Amino acid sequence: MAGSNARNSSVRVCSKKMPSAASDSENEETAKTVQREGDAANARSGDFSRRSVMIGGALVGGSAYAERLPGVATAAAREQGRTIDAIALRNKIKGEIATPDDADFNRLAFDGLWNQLHASDRLPQIIVRVQDEQDVCEAVRFARRNGLKVVVRGGGHNWCCPSLRRGGLLIDLGSLDKIISIDAGSRRATLQPIISNRELQRRLNAVGLSYPSGHCPQVKLSGYLLSGGMAWNQGVWGPGVAGVEAVDVVTAEGDLITASKNQNADYFWAARGAGYGFFGVAVRYHLKLYPLPKHIAASSYFYSLDKVGGVADWLANIAGKLPANVELSLFLLTAPSELADRCKAQSGKVSLMTATVFADSQEEARNATSLLEQCPIIGECLSKTVNEHVDFDRLFDMSGAMWPENRRNQVEAMFSNSNPKGLFEALKAHFMNAPSPESLVLYAFSTGQNATAPADAAFAMRAPLYGGLWTIWRNARDDDTNLNWHKKYLEILKPFAANYYIGETDSVSYPDHVRRAFATRADFQRIEELRKKHDPTGVFYNYFDGLR
């Protein structure tokens, strides 16, 4: 995400551009009313004075206008006839403020979003691109005083873009991108939240250390760790949150606290798995690090799509026999060009089995993956690469190629206790009709005695299979075709889903997936109880408000 730019300290708001925050049934009519009143007010008043800048049109529309825009002003503000003065915030922070009156407001609202398929009518009333932690505190205090609900954008990688809400104040953390310290001796690091997986691994690997980072190179620590963190070498290191020893959090009061096992434990539990519904702003992570494996090796085996059920069944039988440092996955995807002719009967689709081992020697890697050469149909393997020596940069290159940038995406990632053979047999026929060659199916198998999340974390998922469907395409003109195909696929997948992953599910279209993103309903209820305890007035958006 781009950092802040210097801007004029004056902020102007044009009410006729203000997004409606009304309910679904009232949205269209409210937007028309806002347009009419804004135009009339502007005609009467002319341009706003830069000395009297207000949010939400309160200056020109009065309290009745604010009543139709929930979150514009508190009841107390309306009773007192107060308006929301953005200049007061501008004078307190070092970062950048943008409002709907600014020419680059839409660019800033959508800046950094990974998914090019996103709502264009879910927009904040004000965007604050903070420069440091103190800016975050001031922005939260400002929102609290003025009845503006707060949403936070970290790396913007969440597929359903929950940082876009109807109304409120968007805090953009894009400039909090610094590595504060790396202590190689104690294997500890302190980092701001907008550090990418690739950048962090490069910095750590240079001093012989590593961390259970996510697989996609561009993903930032922020949403990755808040969601739990499906990690490289998860079988040994655990998910990303297993390496989090403390989190610095800005609370709903605008206070900066440190949450750890021994202090502010409620925040510590929730910050490790609550995802985008966290009732605070995580501004620094204190991480435990691990020695860098001396020999990372990657293997890949391509099999015809019509063989995928047998391959999946065999992998399920051997997964538990493999060492925990082997990451085992099975894909459905478009065949590489060199195999295209051999996959014509399957509409150019193929199955791919991969194994990545995080070892300390070539011999250890070879022994760890030797079972893969014993597949009953190894003789029918279309192509294979066995124990290719790689580093994290190379792993990120391979992963990044599967999930390319600047695409339109629909995603459902889930945990499953189902029989892998039945799952892949159910998926393969529909996958052959994929309208986009970039779409794929992936499931990772639990190997050995896989490490799990710590008990004091909201993220507590464990299942034999993790994965799902990534529908990926390039052009808006193909939206309907891909969305319809994706929807049919979800119906096929539904019987196989035990739970969903909060960081990679369309919880906007399917709100119930939020509740099913936790190991038990009690875990979800605990988050909501902690929200009432630590954010009783609802300063922060919850999982659902402002999204529909």
Whether residue 4 has pLDDT greater than 60: no
* 117 and 479 Cβ atoms separated by less than 8 Å: yes
Sheet of strand 256-260, all strands in order from the earlier edge strand to the far edge: 179-183, 188-191, 281-288, 244-250, 256-260
Residue 300 placed within a domain: yes
What is the enclosing helix (H) or strand (E) of 36?
A: helix 27-45
Cα 371–Cα 374–Cα 378 angle in degrees, nearest 5: 130
Model confidence band, residue 455 (pLDDT cutoffs 50, 70, 90): confident
How many other C-beta atoms are found inside a 10 Å radius of the C-beta of residue 317?
A: 12
Residue 92 placed within a domain: yes
Model confidence band, residue 69 (pLDDT cutoffs 50, 70, 90): very low
Model confidence band, residue 84 (pLDDT cutoffs 50, 70, 90): low
* Residue 86: predicted pLDDT: 77
Whether residue 75 has pLDDT greater than 90: no
* Residue 6: predicted pLDDT: 32
Phi, psi of 232 (to 5 degrees): -65, 145
Whether residue 211 has pLDDT greater than 60: yes
Burial of 103 (0-12, 13-18, 19+ CB in 10 A): exposed
Where does 275-425 show beta strands of DSSP type E? 281-288, 290-291, 295-304, 326-334, 349-359, 383-390, 408-416
263 φψ region: left (φ > 0), alpha (ψ -120 to 50), beta (else): beta
Residue 22 DSSP label: S
Whether residue 39 has pLDDT greater than 50: no
* Residue 248: predicted pLDDT: 98
pLDDT tens-place string over residues 487-505: 999 999 999 999 999 999 9
- Percent of the chain scoring above 70 in pLDDT: 84
Residue 336 placed within a domain: yes
* Both structure tokens of 64: 């009745």
Nearest to 186 by CA among 258, 285, 260, 290: 290
The DSSP line for 210-225 is E----SSTT-BHHHHH
Residue 488 placed within a domain: yes
* Residue 339: predicted pLDDT: 98
Q: SS3 for 548?
A: coil
Residue 180 placed within a domain: no
pLDDT tens-place string over residues 351-361: 999 999 999 99
Whether residue 465 has pLDDT greater than 70: yes
Burial of 178 (0-12, 13-18, 19+ CB in 10 A): middle
Residue with tokens 């993956």: 369
More reliable by pLDDT, 214 or 90: 214
pLDDT tens-place string over residues 310-339: 999 999 999 999 999 999 999 999 999 999
Q: SS3 for 366?
A: helix
Residue 332 placed within a domain: yes
Q: Find the CATH number of the domain harbouring 346.
A: 3.40.462.20
Model confidence band, residue 453 (pLDDT cutoffs 50, 70, 90): confident
Residue 253 placed within a domain: no
Cα distance between residue 10 and residue 240, in whole Å: 41
Whether residue 438 has pLDDT greater than 50: yes
* 467 and 441 Cβ atoms separated by less than 8 Å: yes
* Residue 174: predicted pLDDT: 96
Cα distance between residue 271 and residue 368, in whole Å: 35
Average pLDDT over residues 290-299: 98
Cα distance between residue 354 and residue 102, in whole Å: 48
Those residues whose C-beta lies under 8 Å from the C-beta of residue 34, and which sit 6 or more positions away, are 15, 16, 18, 20, 57, 65, 68, 69
- Average pLDDT of the chain to the nearest whole number: 86
Cα distance between residue 349 and residue 50, in whole Å: 60
* Residue 460: predicted pLDDT: 87
Burial of 283 (0-12, 13-18, 19+ CB in 10 A): buried
Total domains in the fold of the chain = 2
User: How far are the Cα atoms of 397, 407, 451 from residue 273, in angstroms, in the given order?
Assistant: 27, 27, 16
Cα distance between residue 213 and residue 205, in whole Å: 12
* 376 and 464 Cβ atoms separated by less than 8 Å: no
Phi, psi of 188 (to 5 degrees): -135, 150
Cα 103–Cα 109–Cα 115 angle in degrees, nearest 5: 130
In this predicted structure, which of 66-75, 365-374, 460-469, 531-540 has the lowest mean pLDDT? 66-75
**Range of the structural domain that residue 58 is part of:** 15-135+160-166
Residue 141 placed within a domain: no
Burial readout 248-280 (b: 16 or more C-beta within 10 A, e: otherwise): bbbbbbbebeebbeeebebbbbbbbbbbbbbbb
- Percent of the chain scoring above 90 in pLDDT: 78
Cα 68–Cα 69–Cα 70 angle in degrees, nearest 5: 110
Average pLDDT over residues 399-426: 96
* Both structure tokens of 429: 């026929």
Whether residue 462 has pLDDT greater than 60: yes
Average pLDDT over residues 472-491: 97
pLDDT tens-place string over residues 227-265: 999 999 999 999 999 999 999 999 999 999 999 999 999
Torsion of CA 41, 45, 51, 54, to 10 degrees: -10
**Could you give the angle at which helices 27-45 and 58-67 cross, rounded to 10 degrees?**
160
